[in-house]
Amino acid sequence: MTATRLAGLLALLVIVLAPVVVVLAPSPASAQTATATAATPADIPAVLVSRQAAAALDLSVGSVVQVAPPDGSRARDFRVAGIYEPTPDPSRLGNAIHAVRLHLPDVLALTNPPDAVRGAESVDAINIRLTPGADAAAFARDVNARLPGVAARPATDAGAAAGPFRVLERFHLAIAIVTIIASTVFLVALTVMLVDERRETVGVLRLIGLPTSRVLVQVLLEGLLVAATGSAFGLVLALASEGVINRFFQWRYDTALLFVQVTPSVAATCVMIAIPLGVSATVVASWLLLRRNALRLARR
Amino acid sequence: MIALRFSWRSLVRQPARATLGILGVAAVGALLFDMLMLSDGLIVSMRDLLDRTGFDVRITASGDLRRDGDRIREASSVVASISRVPGVDTVIGLRFVDAEADLPGGAAAAPEGTGGPDAAGPRRDTIDVVFQGVLGQTAPWTLVEGRDPGPAGEVVVSRSFADAMHVGVGARIAVRARCVSRDDVLPPARLRVSGIAEFPFELVGDNTVSGPMQVVDAACGGARADEADLILAKGTGETDLTATAIRDGHRALSVATNEQVLGRLQRNGFTYFRQISVVLSTVTLAFALLLITVLLTVSVNQRLGEIAALRALGFSRGRVVADVLCESMLIVGLGGLLSLPLGALLAQGLDGILKSMPGIPSQMSFFVLAPATVVIHAALLTATAVAASLYPMQIVARLPIAATLRNEVLS
């Protein structure tokens, strides 16, 4: 990427993002305190208040809040311009997000020491949206090379760096594997019993001349039908319970996070595991039975 | 007893079916056992860690349990003031500073991926370190080797640090502290390792170096001196009274007893694992109930003629019902017994996965075996066995003897 292109992109992004960047919330570490006050002049600066904070402080659009740094000094009045739903954050699950979003100059005015040198203000992070089709990784590399002291990385990498969730993913996978093993054992036990129940029928079929392979094909098709029906029922059950589970946990944790999501790939994976497993269990159990003598099967 | 022996013979007569049933219950029981261990494991483990530190009260600036919360200023005078509170026995202040230590052999000696998640890729000639300063006379660590550090230029290090740096007691290390921001470039502090210690709250992937506060202050070149992230106090009497007395004298600080910290974690931090444990335990039990019911029902249906014959021979209704119940209890009991060692093995594997989660003390366990866990496990499996046998018991109890025998003869 050339310097001109980089500068052009940056300029474009600053323009695109200006409305977003200027309402950056202070970092949680600054932990500003907000209290409601009675006056409602229209010319005081505006803030956005999170839904949880608005509920806790009994605020509505137009209310005036007093925002101050942790030490309580330099408190200023702000008008609530809106109430927003915080972006769901799994790492803050269980914590009510009491947050206030201020314009960046207002944050700096509240948090910068009075004797701070003008122009020495700092922000924790800058979010950049690239033009469609731009290579985020190449852009991040370019920024890192040109701006020493700045660490740029694509948003996709930042998501992947969420270590706890990768660990939880592995944990859920391990639980799923154990569940599949337990299900398989039960499935084989059930098919052995079901096949055993039909030993006389199978014996008679063999005695009237049907070859083993023909009986096995019939069992295979039957297993396929049962497994497909079971998988479809399982998917319907998962889809039906998805909403219930999400609503329960969203209520429990007061968040907009989605806890369960039956995506096409998840559904496909389940079907790809369930159907071969069901068919295999049926065929293996049947094969063990079909190896026996036809007369013994028919108990003659 | 006779019913139990009879049921045992019924099971042994069909070994494949019985084995599969028992193995299935064992697998489900193992998962249930693990979920029961998980539901309270973190709390039990955290309580153990808190107790092991030997301090009853934790004091922070903002109540934030993370190390990057607000700091307590003028820490030495706060520590001195708290130590004068009636009922307080020992007080120490702790300050955590990000730092890096030079590997003795440079990049060539660096183990793969040293320095935490940021270190993926090329090998580095430094490792990331948590530099901990202690204000007070009591050490918040358990010495494993060597001795406690002296006042000047000496530190103790964690085993993970010693292993990563290939150093032992008496070695000299160079640590560069980043006291104000991650971009700090300070000259390295030359330190001598006086001992290797165990730090109860060392996080997964952390390498800890700890010494007296003046050692950290010197490494920071005096930046942000006399600050503490955390103050720990030990009382001589009732912990709650001690905490209240400290709180009364220091209104600006957040004071919490170990029980309050645990309560907070129970409400917020660890709820996910409790919830998933409840959900998976319920699903597991429902799964086991359904499948054992099906196993027993199919088994009973296949033996209807045999059961009718026994009734005709004089077996009472209660007796044949007891046979079914005993068969269920045997399958679930044997499977349940087998599930305990299986569950313990599975818990080790799952614990290994979860302990790789960043921000978790490395000595903490997600799966902790408490006596109550085994009792609850046994009670739940017993209830499942009884519930699963209800329907087949009903079939057996209502079996028409003459009609069943006639059908059996005709078929």
DSSP code string of B33-102: HHHHHHHHHHHHHHHHHHHHHT--EEEESSS--STTSPPEESHHHHHHHHHTSTTEEEEEEEEEEEEEEE
Across the interface, whether the CB atoms of B353 and A93 are under 8 A apart is answered no
Neighbour tally for B25: CB within 10 Å = 32
The set of residues, in sequence order, having a beta carbon less than 8 Å from that of A236 and lying 6+ positions away, is none
Closest CA to A164 of B264, B67, B356: B356
Predicted local distance difference test score (pLDDT) of residue B183: 62
Among A91-95, A236-240, B212-216, whose mean pLDDT is lowest?
A91-95
Q: pTM of the full predicted structure?
A: 0.70
Which residue in chain A has the smallest CA separation from B118? A161
Closest CB from B70, B275, B357 relative to A31: B70
Closest CB from B117, B294, B350 relative to A171: B350
B42 vs A268 pLDDT, higher one? A268
- The CA-based angle A91-A96-A97, given to 5 degrees, is 75
A67 in the same domain as A179: no
Question: Could you report the predicted ipTM of this complex, rounded to two decimals?
Answer: 0.71
Across the interface, whether the CB atoms of A197 and B298 are under 8 A apart is answered yes
Cα–Cα distance for residue pair B307/B323, rounded to 1 Å: 10
Predicted local distance difference test score (pLDDT) of residue A82: 92
A138 in the same domain as A203: no
A186 in the same domain as A289: yes
Across the interface, whether the CB atoms of B17 and A95 are under 8 A apart is answered no
pLDDT at B318 over 50: yes
pLDDT at B278 over 90: no
A148 vs B23 pLDDT, higher one? B23
On chain A, the residues whose CB falls within 8 A of the CB of B13 are none
B188 in the same domain as B131: yes
Predicted local distance difference test score (pLDDT) of residue A11: 32
In angstroms, the Cα distances linking A33 to A29, A67, A70, B63 are 12, 6, 6, 15
B394 in the same domain as B301: yes
β-partners of residue A101 are A48
Cα–Cα distance for residue pair A28/A58, rounded to 1 Å: 21
pLDDT at A61 over 50: yes
pLDDT at B63 over 90: no
- Provide the token pair at A161: 């760096």
Across the interface, whether the CB atoms of A175 and B346 are under 8 A apart is answered no
Among A201-210, A221-230, B180-189, B349-358, whose mean pLDDT is lowest?
B180-189
B219 in the same domain as B289: no
pLDDT at A28 over 50: no
B264 vs A54 pLDDT, higher one? A54
The set of residues, in sequence order, having a beta carbon less than 8 Å from that of A158 and lying 6+ positions away, is none
In a domain, B171, yes or no: yes
Contact A82, A88 (CB under 8 A): no
Number of separate domains in chain B: 2
Contact B28, B34 (CB under 8 A): no
Predicted local distance difference test score (pLDDT) of residue B193: 92
Domain containing A130 equals 3-160
On chain B, the residues whose CB falls within 8 A of the CB of A193 are 17, 295, 298-299, 302
Contact A214, A202 (CB under 8 A): no
Domain boundary among A160, A176, A195: A160
At B70-121, the pLDDT tens digits run: 788 888 899 999 988 888 888 999 998 888 888 765 544 444 444 444 444 4
Predicted local distance difference test score (pLDDT) of residue A232: 92
At B332-390, the pLDDT tens digits run: 899 999 999 999 999 999 888 888 877 778 888 888 888 888 999 999 999 988 998 89
At A244, give phi and psi (nearest 5°).
-65, -45
Predicted local distance difference test score (pLDDT) of residue A31: 37
Among A3-7, A52-56, B225-229, B363-367, whose mean pLDDT is lowest?
A3-7
A173 in the same domain as A156: no
Predicted local distance difference test score (pLDDT) of residue A94: 66
Which residue in chain A has the smallest CA separation from B280? A175
B199 in the same domain as B99: yes
The set of residues, in sequence order, having a beta carbon less than 8 Å from that of B36 and lying 6+ positions away, is B277, B281, B373, B376, B377
A197 in the same domain as A154: no
Domain boundary among B176, B199, B228: B228
The set of residues, in sequence order, having a beta carbon less than 8 Å from that of A169 and lying 6+ positions away, is none
At B134, give phi and psi (nearest 5°).
-115, 125
Q: Measured between CA atoms, how close is B356 to chain A, in angstroms?
A: 7
Residue B270: pLDDT band by 50, 70, 90 thresholds? low
A89 in the same domain as A111: yes
Domain containing B336 equals 2-50+270-410
A152 in the same domain as A76: yes
Residue A121: pLDDT band by 50, 70, 90 thresholds? confident
Closest CA to B64 of B259, B229, B267: B229
Cα–Cα distance for residue pair B153/B192, rounded to 1 Å: 6
Residue A285: pLDDT band by 50, 70, 90 thresholds? confident
On chain B, the residues whose CB falls within 8 A of the CB of A192 are 16-17, 20
Cα–Cα distance for residue pair B60/B252, rounded to 1 Å: 10
Length of chain A: 300
Number of separate domains in chain A: 2
Cα–Cα distance for residue pair B129/B260, rounded to 1 Å: 30
Closest CB from A70, A174, A190 relative to B350: A174
B136 vs A21 pLDDT, higher one? B136
Among A213-217, B130-134, B397-401, whose mean pLDDT is lowest?
A213-217
B288 in the same domain as B376: yes
